[in-house]
């Protein structure tokens, strides 16, 4: 099943699920969970809780937010502190301080982590509803995936250069997820800006407010204990940090996360992957190297 929500498309896929009525019930739960997160955390909806807190000049975001979304605020602030603001939910404030801000930016923006958080919330709803019964679902919210229940799922790493060269394969590698694992991707191939003849990602360096260049895509896989929220936040963080600093950051802070970077070099495409990610990759279309550390 597919439906629009949170500015993207959600999809829920079931495997070996004989009870179609139960699947329909799970779909309703997941849909309601996503909608609630959207109403609370959207930076684009002026009526959302986040927008209202921003307009009111909130400074203690975690305490002011509704209890069920406080973990998202807390995780965003923690990731900002750990990364030295490479990941920066206060990017709106940074842009204003640099004289670059305009009305599009909320003072606080969870767009780089909220979809993963929504997937985790929906996964918890599904697990509560199913109890100890066997099931296997894949939740997908705009490319933020989580395998829920038992079984394995295979997902492709999108080729960021496909739009530049139609002869390129659509998928540059395949990753297998097991129950509880999540995957998130950040890339410059759908949303980008042109500057001096160069394509720049819509992702901003939270430390400077500048568009990030040099990286075309980052994919992160996280275990159950990290969740989809962290996969979402880490994909943006690692996009900003790049392979060397990003791999060092993971080793120091999140050693169970796997990551790969695709440099923005369509003439010589390659994948830079942490060792565990390189081991996990299947059908890699290009050479795979390790980050220099």
Q: Please say whether the beta carbons of 217 and 186 come within 8 A.
A: yes
Low-confidence ranges of the chain (pLDDT < 70): 16-18, 95-105, 190-200, 293
- pTM to 2 decimal places: 0.93
Question: Residue 9, Cβ neighbours under 10 Å: how many?
Answer: 13
Six-digit token pair at 136?
């296997």
Among the listed residues 248, 258, 225, the one whose alpha carbon sits nearest the alpha carbon of residue 82: 248
Instruction: Give the pLDDT confidence score for residue 157 in this predicted structure.
Output: 97
Six-digit token pair at 290?
């390790």
Rounding to the nearest 10 degrees, give the CA dihedral for residues 235, 27, 31, 123: -40
Q: Please say whether the beta carbons of 133 and 150 come within 8 A.
A: no
Angle at which helices 20-41 and 114-130 cross, to 10°: 150
- Sorted by where each starts, the structural domains of the chain and their CATH numbers stand as 7-287 (3.10.520.10)
Instruction: Give the pLDDT confidence score for residue 269 in this predicted structure.
Output: 95
Give backbone dihedrals phi and psi of 126, rounded to 5 degrees, phi first: -65, -45
Among the listed residues 176, 173, 254, 207, the one whose alpha carbon sits nearest the alpha carbon of residue 87: 207
Among the listed residues 287, 263, 282, 131, the one whose alpha carbon sits nearest the alpha carbon of residue 221: 282
Instruction: Give the pLDDT confidence score for residue 101 in this predicted structure.
Output: 52
Could you read off the pLDDT of 211-259 as tens digits, one per residue? 898 999 999 999 999 999 999 999 999 999 999 999 999 999 999 999 9
């Amino acid at each position: 099943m597919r439906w629009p929500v949170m500015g993207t498309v959600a999809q829920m896929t079931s495997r070996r699920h004989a009870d179609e009525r139960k699947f329909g019930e799970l779909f309703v739960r997941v849909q309601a969970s996503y909608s609630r997160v959207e109403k609370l955390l959207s930076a684009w909806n002026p009526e959302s809780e986040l927008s209202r807190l921003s307009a009111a000049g909130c400074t203690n975001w975690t305490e002011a937010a509704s209890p069920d979304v406080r973990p998202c605020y807390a995780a965003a602030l923690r990731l900002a502190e750990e990364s030295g603001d490479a990941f920066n939910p206060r990017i709106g404030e940074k842009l204003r301080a640099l004289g670059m801000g305009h009305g599009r930016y909320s003072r606080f923006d969870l767009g780089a982590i909220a979809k993963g958080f929504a997937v985790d919330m929906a996964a918890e709803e599904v697990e509560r509803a199913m109890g100890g019964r066997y099931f296997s679902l894949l939740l997908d919210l705009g490319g933020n995936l989580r395998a829920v229940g038992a079984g394995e799922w295979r997902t492709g790493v999108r080729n960021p250069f496909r739009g530049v060269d139609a002869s390129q394969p659509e998928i540059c590698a395949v990753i297998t997820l097991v129950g509880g694992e999540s995957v998130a991707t950040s890339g410059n191939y759908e949303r980008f800006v042109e500057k001096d003849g160069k394509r720049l990602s819509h992702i901003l360096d939270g430390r400077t407010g500048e568009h990030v260049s040099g990286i075309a895509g980052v994919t992160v896989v996280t275990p159950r204990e990290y969740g989809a929220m962290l996969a979402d936040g880490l994909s943006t963080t690692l996009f900003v940090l790049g392979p060397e600093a990003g791999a060092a950051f993971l080793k120091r802070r999140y050693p169970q996360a796997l990551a790969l970077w695709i440099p923005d070099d369509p003439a010589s495409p390659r994948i830079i992957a942490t060792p565990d990610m390189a081991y996990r990759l299947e059908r890699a279309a290009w050479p795979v190297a390790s980050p220099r550390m």
